[in-house]
Amino acid sequence: MTELTTTPVLLALAIGYALGSIPFGLLLTRMAGLGDIRSIGSGNIGATNVLRTGRKGLAATTLLLDALKGTAGVLIGDMIGGPLAAMAGGLGAFLGHILPVWLGFKGGKGVATYIGILLGLYWPAALAFCAVWLAVAVLTRYSSLSALTASVITPLLLWLLGESQIAMLVSVLSLLLIIKHHANIQRLIAGTESKIGARS
């Protein structure tokens, strides 16, 4: 990769990270007078934990904004340097969300941002992810299991559709997402994982 192509890729990665690191769940719950979202439920800053406050509208807003920062990272990257920079912008947004410098690198688990990145790169994959997530959620009411299942299926689907470059990026995102869900996996195995809508 030449310096001419490296610069926009690195710039897109940095911008994506800055966007991804905005902790919307934390900011919105504080603005709503609910305190620090990290002190309830799973301690996560994402929409699933915001839902545990009982504020469905706030959870939906968190989900939307966390997704849009992934999409924005992709679109800005594409404007800066084309498809490769678009993927770098998406990766940056995901890393920013799960490892935000402002919160001591302790961020969310990345599901909404993952969906937003898919939407920006290849929207049918975003629909497929959501369809799998919804099906598993309806059957089990486990948000974590739904996300884990969808994150395994989505890169495989992208490979089958011939989107090999995007599939490679999404495989990395899926691996990171699974790692971020390690505690959820342990609770799922133990049968102690909280279900969707449950308050802690």
pLDDT digits (tens, 9 = 90+) for 144-185: 999 999 999 999 999 999 999 999 999 999 999 999 999 999
- Asked whether residue 8 is assigned to any structural domain, the reply reads yes
Q: Which domain holds residue 78?
A: 3-190
Q: What is the number of alpha carbons within 13 Å of residue 64 lying toward its C-beta? A: 7
Question: Tokens at residue 132, please?
Answer: 């799998």
Instruction: Please tell me the pTM assigned to this model.
Output: 0.92
pLDDT of residue 32: 87
- Asked whether residue 197 is assigned to any structural domain, the reply reads no
- Asked whether residue 196 is assigned to any structural domain, the reply reads no
Residues 6+ apart with CB under 8 A from 178: 148, 151, 152, 185
In the chain, the number of structural domains is 1
Q: What is the CA radius of gyration of the chain?
A: 16
- Asked whether residue 198 is assigned to any structural domain, the reply reads no
